Chain A
Amino acid sequence: MSSIFRGNFALFLKIAILAGITAILSLLAQSAFASSQIAIGTYLVIAVVVLNFTYFTKVSIPLKFFAPGILFFIAFVIAPIIFTVIMSTYNYQTGNYISKDAAIEQVLIRGVEPDASQTTFDLVSGRSADGSYAVLVSDIANQKFFISTENELTYVETGQLTFNEYGVAITAPGFSVTSVDELATNDAYSKIRYKYSDGYYIIIEAQGVGAVFRQSIAYDAKTDTMKNIQTGQIYVDNKRGNFALEDSPETMLTPGWRAPIWFENYTKLVTDSRVRTPLIKVFIWTIIFATLTVLSTFAFGLLLALALNRKMRGRRIYRSILILPYAMPSIMSILIWAGMFDSEFGAINNLLHTHIAWFSSATFARAAVLLVNLWLGFPYFYLICSGSLQAIPSELLEAAAIDGANPRQVFRRITLPLLLQILSPLLIASFAFNFNNFNLIYLLTGGGPRNTLDGEVAGATDILISYTYQIAFGRNILDFGLASAISVLIFFLVASISFYGLRKSKVMETFG
């Protein structure tokens, strides 16, 4: 066996694998740099260097074990966390999503205006004689026909053209028509500005239709300003990711770019009532939800464990049935419950002979969420509690009984305190888990009911994490900046809960 790890074959294998990985990562790094993803490219280069150093030198033996793990860990765990913190200081949202260079490019593309009479032409896309992108334009009103490329405009005699039934020229000598299929896949045709006349050019508006435009916005790199060519208005960088007029800062050019706004996302959480009010509402419900879930699942789990904590008929059958909710993939169970709560066709209303629109009322929706989470969670505490009950030394209980305590007293004075002591880290862990129980809320109620007409982002059953998701992805506007700020806030909340739990368990280890 050991020869496998020493011989030439092993060395060959090692070199082959490393060479393969090096090649792939280097290629990726190269294309990352080529599309100016400097951070990702740099990380890939560092990864290549680290891997080769680790496995071809004897720098560090432990590194040979954890280098791949750590590289993944940094890339997909640490980097996103750092990136979240960075994004929380930016106005990273729809409208300010791209880099400044890309935004300038977009502003210039959009900074056009139609000519005075808003002329449009029928046209056909294709290639000119020299192979460049071109359009064959029919100015039917003036009976003029021309082939236009980015730099050139050539009139064509009517006699050389063929027309369709609407009088639109469809072929011309030297002009090759591009098929509809190619037009659909190659958007280069529609991105080009085809030459028209002094300062004006033709933009393809829809397939077969072009309109005459001219540039109205120009960028001055020296002063970093945008200028409206016609009116002479100057737009300056407002330091918040947009070009805006100096004397009327509300007038901005779109799109903007992502720009640092430092702690504004955080101060918004406190000062902006449109953010603060729902946040407080959601926070309170999150605490209530997590607390009630832990209490109810623990209570039912414990009661079951107590009920079945003796030799009795059917115990094994009970146990295997009771564990089923825990064994089912939770996604499926949550979706099944969502269907059962359906107001029209759901089984719950059938069973109760009611017509409750469960997910349209805040109270009913919250009750449903708690009930479903009880179903999902009680088997866990049943399993844990029945294990822990067996771990309590029977001498203790017997001694208490001899001293004349009745079963209820034994439970209240001995069993419960001991259990709580053993299980408190798990209760805290369960609280932390439910604090962030995204799947349940998202799949069961979607956070609702939520009055979207009023622009409400936070629904009645939204917990912090689903609210964050809602801000980031759930609406037409993506707001990664604000969502990241809330993420950072949640992290500190959860971290303090967990540290409290840790300290508890440390205490237990010392005394237990």
Chain B
Amino acid sequence: MNKWLRENLWRHAFAVFMCIFALFPLYLIVLSSFNPGGSLQLTSFVPRVLSMENYKMLFSSPKIPFLSWVKNSLIISSAVALSSVVIGAASAFAFSRLKFKGKKFGIQLLLLVQMFPAILALSAVYVIMERVYSFAPSIGLGSQGGLILVYLGGSMGVNIWLLKGFVDSIPAELDEAAKIDGASPVQTYWLIFIPLATPVLAVVCLLSFIGTFNEFIVARLFLVEMSGRTVAVGLQQFIGGQYATNWGAFAAGSILASIPIVIIFLSLQRYIVNGLTAGSVKG
């Protein structure tokens, strides 16, 4: 018993301590979401009243178009995730499997550009989209269409790079066999590669979805209209702006918006951790 204590006590103690650290803000936000008051105050660790007021407010208050925020986030994130995987997968296939002039240069360029954090070019993107707005307002600054284009285009470098890593890990024997049997690259792509890669593509698609869902600053700059915002921008403005003290509704909103992301994340955990490792190590 003594030996068990010596060997295991610190392990459990430390793990429990870190678990409390990890859970504290999350517990607090759940608590506040049921608390009709407006702050992230810790009055007691056990809820005294269980009120659904904050949740009701999200869906009924005309000042908080929460549902349209969620809808906007879903539309923008799905559009970006799907199209970036469709476009990116084809490019990644070419960079991974086909031979062509300038391939090495292309890969090095992708690698180099990856290091340029997208946010550094924010003013340039802003100015470019401002100019697009001057002749095509529906895909320029301030429009969701423009935001989708910026996300989609901006994710190309990283996405092609990430997808190329995944494509590299799919054995090449099968498509080599297809090639010997006389299949053209286009046939190999659709008939051999895509069926093989579907699970991987689905994972990348979901990752891209999470990434877009989590994006804040471009959306903040782009979407000015209250009902056109994404969840992230809406909720931030909600606590930062004129409703400074309304943490209860923020808590409820952020819980509702986070749950799907947490579920996706936990179910993809394995791929995400591997992907992050693989990406950087190969990088």
Contact = CB atoms under 8 A, between A and B. Distances in A.
Of A304, A335, A495, the most chain B CB neighbours within 10 A belong to A335
B120 to A, nearest CB: 4
Interface string B169-190: 0000000000000001111011
A76 B153 contact: yes
Q: How large is the interface on B (under 10, 10 to 19, 20 to 34, 35 or more residues)?
A: 35 or more
Given A87-B127, A469-B217, 14 more contacts: A40-B132, A62-B100, A66-B91, A69-B91, A77-B121, A81-B124, A307-B11, A308-B15, A310-B11, A322-B15, A325-B22, A327-B266, A425-B283, A508-B281
B188 to A, nearest CB: 11
Rank and list the top 4 A-B pairs by shortest CB-CB distance, nearest first: A76-B153, A69-B91, A345-B39, A65-B94
A508 B281 CA distance: 9
A333 B236 CA distance: 11
Interface in A421-474: 425-426, 429, 432, 436, 438-439, 442-443, 465, 468-469, 472-473
Contact of A426 (B18, B134, B258, B280): B280
Interface in B236-250: 236, 239, 245, 247, 250
Contacts of A339: 39-40, 239, 247, 250
17 contacts: A34-B135, A65-B189, A77-B113, A80-B124, A84-B121, A307-B10, A307-B14, A312-B11, A331-B236, A337-B25, A345-B245, A378-B18, A443-B216, A469-B119, A473-B126, A490-B120, A505-B283
Interface stretch (B48-56, B62-70, B154-162): B154-162
A329 B232 contact: yes
B117 interface: yes
Contacts of A240: none
A40 to B, nearest CB: 6
Contact of B25 (A40, A92, A333): A333
B5 to A, nearest CB: 13
Contact of B90 (A40, A68, A327): A68
Contacts of B258: 328-329, 332
Interface string B18-58: 11011101101100000000011111000000000000000
B166 interface: no
A491 interface: yes
Interface in A280-322: 300, 303-304, 307-308, 310, 312, 314, 318, 320-322
B40 A480 contact: no
A351 B42 CA distance: 7
Given A83-B124, A84-B121, A308-B15, A495 B91 contact: no
B197 interface: no
A174 interface: no
Contacts of A83: 121, 124, 127-128
A245 B130 CA distance: 32
Interface in B97-121: 98-100, 103, 112-113, 115-121
